[in-house]
């Protein structure tokens, strides 16, 4: 087995390889002036199980194509098997035709990746109406959860804080991490239009952690914070720190601390998922 780091997840890929004490190689990626892509394996992959590590953020479309090129090339070079570790799996929210003629993107991405690789390992995919990734993938899928890692992080860093899920979608995670967590209500009427309903009187003077599976535009977190002005401190934990545009800066101005996992690598990704992934890969060796 060898671990191959693609553009978005090289740090994570290296950590996985070092846990497993196996070969790591970086995929060479060159972009031509016209935007076309050229990729290359720098070491031999023949007869090996090749593990591609790539989150589909940033640049979801481009990074998906990089996976497809890499997987196809690995098989062309006679790899035994290709496994994709895709800690942040983009496009899973679009699981329904909302408007006539619309593409169901989760289905298309599921089909493309199911044709490209044999096994998918992902982490806490952001699902809305879909209950199981098997609805769009017909390969083996291992869906890992960061709940235990986050529970541990909160215990070590914010043991006395109140944990809040800002909306129903985050309630499962919040309750798994802390049984007595509170869950706010959210009404979303547009990409940047979010309203949060909360009774936050009991949070006055308390340290608070807002826990969400994903922070994208940051609107959910920022609106939740509006109800927490009298808290002693407000901290934010996200599994997937997408932070579109200036979201991170806006949250940083108001939060005492903001932390995410390294499913997406950025300056907040303090909670390391490499061991979780390495443990799963050990079972597939």
Binding site for ligand R5P (CB under 6 A): 166-167, 169-170, 194, 212-220
Q: Which is nearer to ligand R5P, 63 or 217 (CB)?
A: 217
Burial 20-39, CB ≥16 within 10 A → b, else e:
bebebbbbeeeeeeeeeeeb
Q: How far is the CB of 150 from ligand R5P (least distance, A)?
A: 14
Q: How far is the CB of 126 from ligand R5P (least distance, A)?
A: 6
Q: Which is nearer to ligand R5P, 216 or 263 (CB)?
A: 216
Q: Which is nearer to ligand R5P, 60 or 218 (CB)?
A: 218
Q: How far is the CB of 93 from ligand R5P (least distance, A)?
A: 8
CB 72 within 8 A of CB 104: no
Q: How far is the CB of 101 from ligand R5P (least distance, A)?
A: 25
Q: How far is the CB of 220 from ligand R5P (least distance, A)?
A: 3
Closest among 31, 130, 57, 45 to 83, alpha carbons compared: 45
Q: Which is nearer to ligand R5P, 50 or 225 (CB)?
A: 225
DSSP 128: S
Q: Which is nearer to ligand R5P, 71 or 194 (CB)?
A: 194
Q: How far is the CB of 242 from ligand R5P (least distance, A)?
A: 7
Residue position matching structure tokens 């390391």: 272
Backbone dihedral angles phi then psi of residue 196, each to the nearest 5 degrees: -115, 135
State both tokens at 29. 């990626």
Question: Cis peptide before 58, with omega less than 30 degrees from 0?
Answer: yes
CA 179 to chain centroid, in Å, comes to: 23
Q: How far is the CB of 132 from ligand R5P (least distance, A)?
A: 17
Q: Which is nearer to ligand R5P, 53 or 194 (CB)?
A: 194
CA 154 to chain centroid, in Å, comes to: 19
What Rg value do the Cα atoms of the chain yield, rounded? 20
State both tokens at 11. 């740090």
CB neighbours of residue 255 within 10 Å: 20
Q: Which is nearer to ligand R5P, 45 or 164 (CB)?
A: 164
Q: Which is nearer to ligand R5P, 253 or 285 (CB)?
A: 253
- Continuous segment of H or E residues that includes residue 123: strand 119-123
What CA dihedral angle connects 67, 68, 74 and 80, to 10 degrees? 90
Q: How far is the CB of 53 from ligand R5P (least distance, A)?
A: 24
Angle of helix 219-226 versus helix 247-254 axis, rounded to 10? 20
Q: Return d(Cα 84, Cα 92) in angstroms, integer.
A: 16
């Amino acid at each position: 087995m060898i671990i191959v780091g693609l553009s978005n997840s090289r740090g994570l890929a290296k950590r996985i390889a070092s846990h497993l004490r196996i070969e790591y190689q970086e995929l060479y990626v060159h972009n031509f002036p016209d935007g076309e892509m050229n990729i290359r394996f720098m070491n031999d992959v023949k007869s090996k199980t090749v593990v591609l590590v790539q989150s589909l953020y940033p640049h979801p479309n481009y990074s998906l194509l990089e996976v497809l090129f890499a997987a196809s090339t690995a098989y062309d070079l006679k790899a035994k098997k290709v496994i994709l570790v895709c800690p942040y799996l983009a496009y899973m929210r679009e699981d329904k035709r909302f408007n006539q003629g619309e593409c169901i993107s989760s289905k298309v991405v599921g089909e493309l990746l199911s044709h490209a690789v044999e096994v998918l390992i992902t982490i806490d995919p952001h699902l809305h109406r879909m209950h199981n990734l098997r609805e769009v993938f017909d390969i083996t899928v291992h869906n890992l959860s960061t709940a235990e890692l986050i529970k541990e992080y909160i215990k070590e860093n914010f043991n006395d804080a109140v944990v809040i899920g800002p909306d129903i979608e985050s309630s499962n995670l919040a309750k798994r991490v802390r049984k007595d967590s509170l869950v706010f209500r959210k009404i979303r009427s547009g990409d940047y239009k979010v309203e949060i309903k909360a009774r936050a009187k009991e949070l006055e003077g308390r340290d608070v952690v807002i826990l969400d599976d994903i922070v994208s535009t940051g609107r959910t977190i920022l609106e939740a914070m509006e109800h927490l002005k009298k808290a002693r401190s407000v901290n934010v934990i996200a599994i997937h720190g997408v932070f579109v545009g200036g979201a991170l800066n806006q949250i940083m101005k108001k939060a005492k601390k903001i932390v995410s996992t390294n499913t997406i690598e950025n300056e907040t990704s303090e909670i390391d998922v490499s061991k979780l992934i390495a443990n799963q890969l050990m079972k597939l060796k």
